[in-house]
Amino acid sequence: MKILITGAAGFIGHKMVKVLAAEGAEIIGIDNINDYYSPALKEARLRDLAPLPRFRFVKMDLADREAIARLFAEEHFTHVLNLGGQAGVRYSIENPYTYIESNIVGFLNILEGCRHGGRPRLVYASSSSVYGMDPHVPFSESDRTDAPVSLYAATKKSSEEMAYAYSKLFGIQTVGLRFFTVYGPWGRPDMAPMKFMKAIMEGRTIDVYNNGDMLRDFTYIDDIAEGVRRVLHATDDRAVPYKIYNIGNSEPVRLLDFIRAIEDVTGCKARMRMLPMQAGDVVRTYADTSLLEHDFSYKPSTPIREGLERLYEWIRGYGAI
């Protein structure tokens, strides 16, 4: 296997480089190291990956059409794992063009690279945010996803539609993975698990939206990685080789209960400022993973307490990043 991993300096990208390198795959990782959150954390992840013998990193922007086309022409990938792109729901309200450039134009460049570069199998990151405010839970891949409540969600839904078109037109194997609130060591500092735990440990006040009355399907990074690994290794011989899977823990946790679990793990008391619902947020996420279980005999299963304990140990060692 020769794999392109975009977003290699990101949270999930970093983990997937390590997992796939351990299997002996040759990996080229790209990332633009933007400042959406601390570039120091991204650089630290890359330093962690540097000793891997068959991994090579290239700083590159997904929106750079010529650079992406040249990369595909030169490297002849067998697989592409597209984890790059602009994340974050609230940030999309203030910086909409960044999402179009990265998640729409950038993803088009990846699709075109696959089309003209030997048609490697493409697995790409989607998001649970595509389900919007759908009252039907748990969220199933067959549910309607045509009412996004943020531009971020709209770009992820657009990626799924673009992937279908390229699967239909050019026979490219494409698989979208709808991730549900990923957390764990090396995680993103803008997301609640890392942000809340560090703030609670340091005695700082945390902002709790919708007065904590939110449900999140927190999914531990190792569970995400195993699901991605299995999907990446599969093949698809259908007439239109296109698929979507949820990857979530299927056990949503109330936000206030999640904060209490952090208190138990850290031994520190949370200081909270209760705030109303923010624009673009959703009240609940809850994954139906029966399709993933059926096709790959796999279901994420790490309990929230165990995942938080591992995150706590990592923060104690790397919290200064």
19 plus 41 within the same structural domain: yes
Note whether 124 and 179 are within 8 A (CB).
Answer: no
Q: Are strands 253-254 and 215-216 parallel, antiparallel or unpaired?
A: antiparallel
Q: Is 152 a catalytic residue?
A: yes
pLDDT over 70 percentage in the chain? 99
Query: In terms of residue numbers, what domain contains 208?
Result: 192-215+250-285+303-318
Q: Encode pLDDT of 218-273 as tens digits.
A: 999 999 999 999 999 999 989 899 999 999 999 999 999 999 999 999 999 999 99
- Is there a domain that residue 295 lies in? no
CATH of the domain at 271: 3.90.25.10
Residue of 91, 152, 166, 245 marked catalytic: 152
At 269 the three-state DSSP class reads coil
Phi, psi (rounded to 5 degrees) for 162: -65, -40
36 plus 151 within the same structural domain: yes
- Is there a domain that residue 267 lies in? yes
Note whether 270 and 259 are within 8 A (CB).
Answer: yes
Closest by Cα among 220, 294, 283 to 251: 220
Note whether 109 and 68 are within 8 A (CB).
Answer: yes
The answer to whether the predicted template modeling score (pTM) of the entire model surpasses 0.85 is yes
Number of domains in the chain: 2
Band (pLDDT 50/70/90 cuts) for residue 319 is low
